[in-house]
Structure 1
């Protein structure tokens, strides 16, 4: 039996890159001491998220745009060493374009990069949109990544699962409700949706699921934390709740996938030709 010890982070990050790297270094060190081989940090953990989902605040230029081959990602690579580390950042796409992105690295370099496809509310005023979902191989297994609102669309995780992803990793800056927020963040309806999406995406695709999220507050946003590890049956193996922390779980991924898919294989039993829109166009995902 070959097990993988993995962790998803709930933590507070802001605009100051030096402070963000200090937090990331502390979390990587803590995870490494606990035997973690795969670590997921939140969306926008390098440079912070937006102060508001109504567009940039007048006094804020937004997160710094970082090049995928730039010094900040190289610094993350050096920090990762023998671990697989996933982290969200604002990507400089060249020609003035900016993407809300997530990168996967080890000490050997960049293994994968994803640009957020689905943009909630006014996020498209700050970022361009990505255009694909893909899985890639890592020392921790075949991984597919997405960012925050991407997980609200079943097609996102399904595309990754069909591309062979064994582990889905979603990094978020998911806040509590904008209207009628609950005084108790644990009872907030947007937190319930956050948790429901995590469990549903794992179960419907029968994959392991890591969900990292911002915690604390930033600008007008109050994040729900709730980092977690979910097994292919949709059961939560570890969860930080609304507080900062690391959700750590150990699992034999190959065995867990085989067990979940043995009798009812959701990917195997699909009937793509029956999934059509009114236009008659087949939905192959």
Structure 2
């Protein structure tokens, strides 16, 4: 496969699922006009994120949606030949989960349930227990949901499973405990970019980072959607504003170029790690 066009979305999504589907339709149409093959929407795009961690009100939680329900079917119909990653609160017997789905017009390609949970989120979501890559029309892909990317092992597991592109879907807010007067000075803003670039460079993969914008409850989201090359360089970004960061990437060639001299995955020494 040659070059593909990748889009990372920064956008606001609230509780109204029908309004979210309308916004998704608009974003997919904009992406289609830009020739995008892979579009990564934020975590919690269908139904929004929780309003706070400390004491979430059960009456204010996102709706739990079925992975085989009409909402994801509508997104699949909109996607057509495009591959789309989108986040939602998944209804399940062992859940609910904070889940990312990868879909196209033919249906579900892959699913990831968020594994790592910040303090308080376990009151609302169950934790997933697997990181796995899967094949798609645009190559082998893996997914993370926001806090997952804080942990190097998450993306490394996907890379070792053959993921060439890692999609990180986030509803990542500014610092709740020490909010800065300007977003560019915010500690979480700096960490968000640091993790995106580090996970790409250390695994020598293409990383696609989406995020929410706007506010819900006490949460003020960062935006900062971006596409990062396997050398850790940012190829396209939205900064703090809503929009789609679009980059054209020859994934196979770019991975081959950075891994030609130094191949991080094959030069590992796992027998020495504790």
The answer to whether the 8 A contact 1:228-1:240 is kept is: yes
Q: Deviations over 1:219-272 (max 9, x none)?
A: 110001000000000000011001111110001000000001000000010000
1:74 aligns with 2:73: yes
Q: Deviations over 1:86-116 (max 9, x none)?
A: 0000001126x20000000000000000000
Task: Report 1:221-260 matches (<5 A).
Answer: 221-260=219-258
Please give the secondary structure, in 1, of the residue aligned with 2:92: strand
Q: In structure 2, what is the Cα distance between the partners aligned to 1:52 and 1:120? A: 11
1:54 aligns with 2:38: no
Q: In structure 1, what is the Cα distance between the partners aligned to 2:170 and 2:88? A: 11
Residue segments in structure 1 that go unaligned for 5+ positions in a row: 277-285
2:189 aligned partner: 191
Q: In structure 2, what is the Cα distance between the partners aligned to 1:275 and 1:127? A: 32
Q: In structure 2, what is the Cα distance between the partners aligned to 1:58 and 1:112? A: 29
1:150 aligned partner: 148
Structure 1 outlier segments of 4+, above 2 Å: none
Q: In structure 2, what is the Cα distance between the partners aligned to 1:188 and 1:220? A: 16
The answer to whether the 8 A contact 1:86-1:104 is kept is: yes
Distance change (3 Å), C-alpha of 1:26 and 1:263: same
How many residues end up aligned between the 2 structures? Answer: 274
Please give the secondary structure, in 2, of the residue aligned with 1:65: coil
TM-score (norm 1): 0.94
Residue segments in structure 2 that go unaligned for 5+ positions in a row: none
TM-superposed deviation, 1:139: 0.6
TM-superposed deviation, 1:178: 1.0
TM-superposed deviation, 1:59: 4.6
The answer to whether the 8 A contact 1:101-1:113 is kept is: yes
TM-superposed deviation, 1:55: 3.4
1:40 aligns with 2:40: yes
Q: In structure 1, what is the Cα distance between the partners aligned to 2:179 and 2:250? A: 39
